[in-house]
Structure 1
Amino acid sequence: MTNPIDALIAEKGVLLADGATGTNLFAMGLEAGDAPELWNESAPAKIEALHRGFVDAGADIILTNSFGGTRHRLKLHGAQDRVFELNRRAAELARTVADASGRKVIVAGSVGPTGELLQPLGALTYDEAVEAFAEQIEGLKAGGAEVAWIETMSSPDEIRAAAEAAIRVGLPYTFTASFDTAGRTMMGLAPKNIFGVTEGLSEQPAGIGANCGVGASDILASLFDMTAAKPDATVIVKGNCGIPEFRGAEIHYSGTPELMADYVRLAVDGGARIIGGCCGTSFQHLAAMREALDTHHRGERPALDEVVTRIGPLRNKIAANSGAGTGAGEARRERRRARA
């Protein structure tokens, strides 16, 4: 498989992934409970505007509007028989914007969880999960996606099923988990153990990491754990833009462009190779992140208490239990892991 991520990292060093899909689509008029994937056909200009906003802000990687694009998620909207066409259209829209940018922008096909529990906890078999993901990824590949971007996962088995599907379809893949339950995923996967999830598969991921679920401080703690475990890995972090806060009936994220810029600097120093934003991350936030990435030179690996001082307290993971360590000295002694 041709892996565009390695080639672009070799050219640029660290890549900037895009920001939030859902948050920005809600700002464009998407209603709660609606399927964003249906907008690929009913409101394509808005989806192109989403991608264009991130490309204009400096993204090197844009994710297709297909997070809920498996038959299991689309059946909630009566669209389970339209998996291929909706995913193909998602990739086509992103491809159009990327190709018009005048520079290399990678189109990554977003693949989210099925929303079902795999056996023995639920009814979905592993083979059925592979089939569902392969159906989605076939559409993404047909539309021009270059990478299957498996994201916001909690189950190691579901990650592996999606990875196996990508291999079957013939796309390189990345995967990210949400370490949002006391520093682990909901299914108990710890950041330091993420590298073993796809062990034994015929193709290994182009990047591994963390996204969503937590704010910048907590996702950086997960990054430090990963880069301590495997320092040479391509590690991805795509953290939420601060902490969600209710203002009346609306959710606002506390992160400022300045905070997200500092998150980028800390992530680079912590060994991340792909950095982006998740929920709440706007075009303005991403532009500040781009500037930070372009002007920052990688420094000494930060201590976790420095992260807390600069961008706020841990809200999900207890610092004392973090494999990140609380000082740069420990980081140097262990010579640690890797990020995306």
Structure 2
Amino acid sequence: MATRHVTDGGLETDLIFLRGFDLPEFASFPLLDTDEGRAALRDYYLAYVDIAVRAGAPLLLETPTWRANPDHAARLGYDAAALDRVNRESVAFLAALAAERADELTGWEVGGMLGPRGDGYVSAGAVDPDEAAEYHRPQLASFVAAGATRATVLTLTEVGEAIGVSRAAADLGLPVGIGFTVETDGRLPDGSTLAAAVAAVDADAPPAYFLINCAHPSHVLRGLEPGAWRDRIGGLRVNASTMSHAELDEAQTLDDGDPLELADAQLPLLDAFGGLEVLGGCCGTDARHVAAMWGVS
């Protein structure tokens, strides 16, 4: 079995609903450019450092840069140079934070976080892999330059963009985890099964591993068909809520469920995916949920 790393929970929902931040574009990376923002991010990530210490497990800190790509950043006033700077600074910020507790940790690393070019919930149709590779390569290159040891892309809704990210990461020599999200029926927003999506990416540009994120365990279970594809799932970041993506998009309050119930609901997935090496949360989860998943609540 792979060594399982603690990672964080639902950063953006934590910042919005629990800490009162306004996040235009659902983007947390601009917080790196203010003292108040850096203090909030520091407090947020330190909770997961504590979980890793208590669990005796290695820690994967992933940068707050899910929206730090050109389309979303341009609407926030960040050009290419500013994006390169903030993506690099995000890695340095987390590395410095982990280094403070290095003597207590069993191991740690910093990974760069990417998101889709478009919506993380709705598929806009097929994406050309070459265009996706060109689009995402600069952010991946920033992570490499800053010393990140891996990258993760979350909430992809179809295969083409996944292939593009995996190709670009391979070109740069950076291990990458490809994260798909699923609807309440266990299928990707474009209708693909997880098995088919994993097979299609692996046939073109195999990543280090795949992840499933931004769905409640009950949703993922509905797409849990048998097959070797399960061995390629190396990360799991589930939602606290059983609501659909459309319902979550419209939600004005946080549905954070019950941490212990979520941990119990996730147990069948831990059995199904024996190669998990990253375990954390997604929308609606916070340190309480991740602590419960790791049995240190």
State if a TM-score over 0.5 links the two structures: yes
- TM-score normalized by the length of structure 2: 0.82
State the Cα deviation string for residues 27-63 of structure 1 (Å, max 9, x = none): 2232142531111222222222221112212273222
Query: Are residue 40 (structure 1) and residue 32 (structure 2) matched?
Result: yes
Q: Match of 1:251, SS?
A: coil
Letter in 1 for 2:268: L
Q: 2:290 aligns with which of 254, 262, 286?
A: 286
Mapped partners of 1:21, 1:237: distance in 2? 15
Query: Are residue 187 (structure 1) and residue 214 (structure 2) matched?
Result: no
Query: 2:59 aligns to what?
Result: 60
Higher relative contact order (CA 8 A, sep 6+): 2
Q: 1:19 aligns with which of 3, 9, 18?
A: 9
Query: 1:314 aligns to what?
Result: none
Q: How much has 1:96 moved relative to structure 2?
A: 1.7
Q: Tell whether the 8 Å contact from 1:62 to 1:107 is kept in structure 2 after alignment.
A: yes
Higher Rg: 1
**1:143-158 superposed matches below 5 A:** 143-158=146-161
Mapped partners of 2:180, 2:7: distance in 1? 16
Query: 2:98 aligns to what?
Result: 98
Could you list the runs of 5+ residues in structure 1 that have no partner in the other structure? 1-8, 294-340
Q: Tell whether the 8 Å contact from 1:147 to 1:173 is kept in structure 2 after alignment.
A: yes
Mapped partners of 1:284, 1:231: distance in 2? 27
Query: 2:55 aligns to what?
Result: none
Mapped partners of 1:281, 1:23: distance in 2? 8
Mapped partners of 1:201, 1:79: distance in 2? 33
Runs of 4+ residues over 6 Å off in structure 1: none
Query: Are residue 208 (structure 1) and residue 197 (structure 2) matched?
Result: no
Distance 1:265 1:186, change over 3 A: closer
Q: How much has 1:229 moved relative to structure 2?
A: 3.6
Letter in 2 for 1:253: D
Q: 1:31 aligns with which of 22, 35, 45?
A: 22
Letter in 1 for 2:73: L
Query: Are residue 172 (structure 1) and residue 175 (structure 2) matched?
Result: yes
Query: 1:51 aligns to what?
Result: 45
Q: How much has 1:237 moved relative to structure 2?
A: 1.9
State the Cα deviation string for residues 68-112 of structure 1 (Å, max 9, x = none): 111122112121322211111111122222223322123221110
Q: How much has 1:65 moved relative to structure 2?
A: 0.3
Q: How much has 1:195 moved relative to structure 2?
A: 2.2
Aligned-pair identity in percent equals 24
Q: 1:256 aligns with which of 252, 255, 258?
A: 258
Q: Tell whether the 8 Å contact from 2:212 to 2:233 is kept in structure 1 after alignment.
A: no
Q: Tell whether the 8 Å contact from 2:10 to 2:284 is kept in structure 1 after alignment.
A: yes
Q: Tell whether the 8 Å contact from 1:267 to 1:275 is kept in structure 2 after alignment.
A: no
Mapped partners of 1:232, 1:130: distance in 2? 25
Letter in 2 for 1:290: W
Could you list the runs of 5+ residues in structure 2 that have no partner in the other structure? 53-57
Mapped partners of 2:210, 2:128: distance in 1? 24
Q: Tell whether the 8 Å contact from 1:241 to 1:256 is kept in structure 2 after alignment.
A: yes
RMSD: 2.9
**1:83-122 superposed matches below 5 A:** 83-102=83-102, 103=105, 104-115=107-118
Q: Tell whether the 8 Å contact from 1:30 to 1:36 is kept in structure 2 after alignment.
A: no
Q: Match of 1:238, SS?
A: strand
Q: Match of 1:23, SS?
A: helix
Aligned length: 275
Letter in 2 for 1:158: E
Mapped partners of 1:181, 1:271: distance in 2? 19
- TM-score normalized by the length of structure 1: 0.72
Q: How much has 1:161 moved relative to structure 2?
A: 0.8
State the Cα deviation string for residues 101-145 of structure 1 (Å, max 9, x = none): 32212322111001179xx958x8543322221101111222232
Q: Tell whether the 8 Å contact from 1:219 to 1:237 is kept in structure 2 after alignment.
A: no
Q: How much has 1:178 moved relative to structure 2?
A: 0.9
Of the structure 1 ranges 65-74 and 255-264, higher mean CA displacement relative to structure 2 is found in 255-264
State the Cα deviation string for residues 285-312 of structure 1 (Å, max 9, x = none): 111111179xxxxxxxxxxxxxxxxxxx
Mapped partners of 2:193, 2:168: distance in 1? 23
Distance 1:258 1:181, change over 3 A: closer
